[in-house]
Chains A and B, each alone.
Chain A
């Protein structure tokens, strides 16, 4: 089959590909492609193009489109090609249209006729080509046109056709379930097809049908179980074996289906136990595909009605995954752990160390997966460590999608498990600082509410909470760029509590607020918050009987806002102006002190105005007529029956508008009053905040002593100390943090002493249930396993060295956990550690062996001709080597591309190592020869592959 490796395209096309390959920049590539598009546009519309030429043009169009350019001018020609009689041309046409057109494209209607014709063709290859197109192109509208033909094909003698017909029917079901609802029994029938390929294909639609409606397919449980059994027992033809596994893809699909059917169904599950257990035993865990099946087994076991024996198998498999060297397997292990943990939480305990290793891993994907696992196993005991980890991670990524997700997870966990309100606020600060505007505004409002309402037990702690919040915010304001949502919170808190404890003067706080308004002048909402905060500060000053001196920068800001385009901002500025002009008594009644948590009853009838209206009417004003009672409206209400109330607001009016005279008179007093009394701002939060005032400050000296830091370490220290001073111990876990914080500041890295501290503080925790405590404590610094502590120096050395390297506060507690874990399961971990060095040594050896292989060309000779079969034979052992990912790295790093291009990927896998080494040598010789042949062929054609990339000739499977 080697002949198929030739190149049948014209020189022109080869040149195009070559020049694109050599393009130095994207711009250059675009220029070349645009030139090609021009050429094609011109050529393709010429009359009488020979078919073969046309076919090439279409392929070139596909190429152009693949590179991201628009080739729509040629779509119609691709459509025309599908009409051709020759399969050669037709196949290209179908390929092009399936790549070009989406199912809603207008041109599809032109193809339907051809598809219909082709589906009835005598040549099964034509039918297959048409079915491929059907799967991609037929949409809801056109399904009826081909449906009967496709159904007929379900009984076609050729299995390839039956298989594709099943897939097409599946596709129809996805697009329009109702169109094929009467045909679903066909899927059941095809399950018994003689051909395993067709049977396997049938599993796809069945899986989907079962996902949607489990109960209708419960009767199939036994059939699926027996099929799976037969597959696992190698009853299928050898051709379906894949890397010595019997039809693993079919096994996986069946396991997925069984998981659905057995979920929450004891009886159905019991039928599956035997076969699933059997597969667990039979799976070859040294091959990737074996592990894929194992993973699917674990998923199945964790979904069906649980069985202790199977759970044990699953736990074994998971620990093998986690102990593996391969990151892929670790990843799968972490994922599987997350699934199994729901059923048997205690399983996490024994893998604690592995989990922590994965968390420390430089591999981002693995880290994320581990964070996901931690998220799933968060309890009130470990929430601090976990959330802190998540925030640490969040700070360092740029991926907004994931940042939003992790931020919302942090918030969710913090809200659910927060050990103290202070911790909650501090955590929120971090989330806001780093995730910024990705955080939901609801969260911001929650935070404001929490600061306002406080603990609800003790006024003293509440005010301390507030002053510390103020402190931290004043400090944070020094940061260059803060997210809008966070600034809103800051402004609000500063307005409410900025001067409450007497530590900061009004002019200091107002100065800060003015700075905010100036620095973020493009953000209207922040400015609005800042102005309202200013209003509050000044109001408190006036109410306290102090003289108010507006800062010059504040004055100029107000002038600017009074003329602002934003009516909201303008109104707030006017309100500020009005408040400043009032006396202490008036201000006190507008903004009563400490009222921010009180509900405001809105007097919808505006009863307090009745006296004023009475006066006005007596003075000759016209009374207000409600809208629906006005004369003009009466006529319309005839058209609209009863519901004119709702509609009148939204629909068109056919009469001229009333002169606004009579309402104006009654409204003027309304608005003038409103500016001081009722603030008709659209958003309810604004209303609330304007009325809010502070508690009387109980100037806490403690707040003064703490430092203003919200950067990770500083904050911890600050918050930690504060919890110390009040006797109301918020929770013992906070005090643990304090300990960490202090050691951190001291700069001492004596992990031992820290361990002890953690122990102590953990022991104090009482409010959690015993088994929770057991899990969490064992996971993150618990004491449950303290008695088992055989010293394993090798393992411990790693985490402690980590501590020295990284001076992150929270990490240390995790490290401690890992140390402890080390003491629990030493032997396998020792193995884990030994391996990396072995691995790194292997690749450096390999190239020499490869070179040796090059010197012996004898092996090349035989494989040239019948190498199709040789390849099959030689490659299967080689595969083990393939799963180890090293080669990528080697090429990445050094520039000795040529050497590595010729050499085979270094073999690292311990198991497959020796075997594949030999294979590598023999197959590599052949590969080189092939590469040279191809090189020669290309050169012969006049295309010199001058690009500095010998990898182009490198055998992909080598």
Chain B
């Protein structure tokens, strides 16, 4: 228990958001991004502990949980929980909006984003997150800018040929 706390304390001055977690209602991890240093063991522990706390919280309660001297702000969208861990003196409402901002960008990008999109395209969710947050700080508050940035990468990256190819290869693989 103490070792995590220590490492958090170590970084506490530097980072606004310590980590981002996406957990499904069943406790499945959909995305994790660590801005403070946690070992793989600590990470597993953090996820287990937090999903125990957050998933069991009833409706209508605060979207905040105090946890080991830090605060975790979470919000549920459909069956997916978006969680961000911040310092105790952070502005929780702001974090709630950063989460929402992220979801809105995801929604714009995927078009009516659903959990399934994030499951199968989790790497894209990472790319988008990287455009919103950098080393735990909000870097871009403009939605359009973010979507445009990610789309620019995509268009450069995924040629038309590949786009058409991918679906058909999947289908052929599936029918094999």
Contacts and interface: CB of A to CB of B under 8 A. Distances in A.
Interface size class of B (residues with CB under 8 A): 35 or more
A914 interface: no
B73 to A, nearest CB: 9
Contacts of B108: 1, 868, 871-872
A953 B114 contact: yes
A401 B115 CA distance: 33
B77 A957 contact: yes
B116 A197 contact: no
A941 B170 contact: yes
Nearest to A255: B91
Nearest to A366: B62
A301 to B, nearest CB: 14
Interface string B15-34: 01000000001101101110
A92 interface: yes
Contact of B126 (A99, A242, A364): A99
A953 B24 CA distance: 13
Contacts of B28: 20-21
A957 B61 contact: no
A286 interface: no
B171 interface: yes
A4 B111 contact: yes
Interface in B66-119: 66, 68-69, 76-80, 91-94, 96-98, 100-101, 103-104, 106-117, 119
A62 B109 CA distance: 21
Contact of B66 (A289, A365, A945): A365
Given A11-B173, A167-B134, A291-B93, A952 B156 contact: no
A955 interface: yes
A952 B79 contact: yes
A926 B98 CA distance: 26
Interface stretch (A111-119, A738-746, A888-896): A888-896
Contact of B104 (A8, A875, A945): A875
Dominant secondary structure of chain A at its interface with chain B: helix
A331 B92 contact: yes
A949 B116 CA distance: 11
A263 to B, nearest CB: 14
Contacts of A1: 108-111, 147, 151
B110 A5 contact: yes
Contact of B92 (A135, A136, A328): A328
A132 interface: yes
Contacts of B77: 956-957
Contact of A248 (B97, B114, B158, B166): B97
A292 B95 CA distance: 9
Contacts of B116: 934, 938, 945, 952-953
A330 B76 CA distance: 19
Given A4-B110, A88-B158, A956 B80 contact: yes
B62 A328 contact: yes
Given A14-B120, A197-B140, A886-B60, A296 B135 contact: no
A376 to B, nearest CB: 14
A67 B29 CA distance: 6
Given A328-B64, A331-B64, A132 B130 contact: yes
Interface string B115-153: 111011111101100100011011111111101010111
Interface string A106-142: 0000000000000000010100110010011000000
Contacts of B93: 288-289, 291-292, 295, 328, 332
A549 to B, nearest CB: 48
A269 B166 CA distance: 60
Contact of B141 (A6, A247, A327): A247
Contacts of A132: 130, 134
B174 interface: yes
Contact of B137 (A2, A204, A405): A204
Contacts of B61: 327, 362-366, 885
A201 interface: yes
A754 interface: no
Contacts of A331: 62, 64, 92
Given A885-B59, A949-B79, A951-B78, A249 B141 contact: yes
Interface in B149-169: 149, 151-154, 156-158, 162-163, 166-167, 169
Contacts of B100: 288, 879, 882
Given A292-B91, A328-B96, A890-B59, A401 B69 contact: yes
A892 B161 CA distance: 44
Given A239-B145, A886-B60, A170 B79 contact: no
A68 B137 contact: no
B167 A952 contact: no
A184 interface: no
B139 to A, nearest CB: 5
B50 interface: no
A868 B111 contact: yes
A954 B79 contact: yes
Contacts of B66: 365, 368-369, 402
A889 B58 CA distance: 6
Interface string A364-393: 111011000000000000000000000000
Interface in A54-77: 59, 62-63, 65-68, 70
Contact of B139 (A70, A164, A296): A164
B134 A164 contact: yes
A365 B96 contact: no
A10 B172 CA distance: 10
A926 B63 contact: no
A141 B159 CA distance: 38
Interface string A278-301: 000000000011011001100100
A940 interface: yes
Contacts of B91: 252, 292, 295-296, 299
A887 B114 contact: no
Nearest to B79: A951
B156 A954 contact: no
Given A7-B170, A240-B141, A401-B69, A365 B64 contact: yes
A157 to B, nearest CB: 15
A956 B113 contact: yes
Contacts of A63: 122
B75 to A, nearest CB: 8
Contact of A940 (B76, B137, B171): B171
A249 B135 contact: no
Interface in A142-181: 160, 163-164, 167, 170-171, 174
Nearest to B126: A95
B9 interface: no
A328 B174 contact: no
A200 B141 contact: yes
B62 A201 contact: no
Interface centre among A362, A365, A891, A945 (most CB of B within 10 A): A365
A3 B114 contact: no
B64 A941 contact: no
A11 B174 contact: yes
B56 to A, nearest CB: 9
B141 A956 contact: no
The 3 closest A-B pairs by CB, nearest first: A889-B59, A942-B174, A951-B79
Interface of B: 1, 5, 13-14, 16, 25-26, 28-29, 31-33, 37, 40, 43-44, 47, 58-66, 68-69, 76-80, 91-94, 96-98, 100-101, 103-104, 106-117, 119-124, 126-127, 130, 134-135, 137-145, 147, 149, 151-154, 156-158, 162-163, 166-167, 169-171, 173-175
28 contacts: A1-B109, A4-B124, A8-B158, A8-B167, A13-B120, A65-B40, A68-B29, A68-B40, A68-B44, A91-B153, A128-B153, A132-B134, A174-B135, A204-B16, A208-B13, A247-B141, A249-B98, A330-B62, A332-B92, A365-B64, A867-B111, A872-B108, A885-B59, A885-B60, A885-B76, A886-B60, A956-B113, A957-B103
Given A943-B174, A955-B114, 6 more contacts: A201-B140, A252-B94, A362-B58, A405-B69, A885-B76, A940-B171
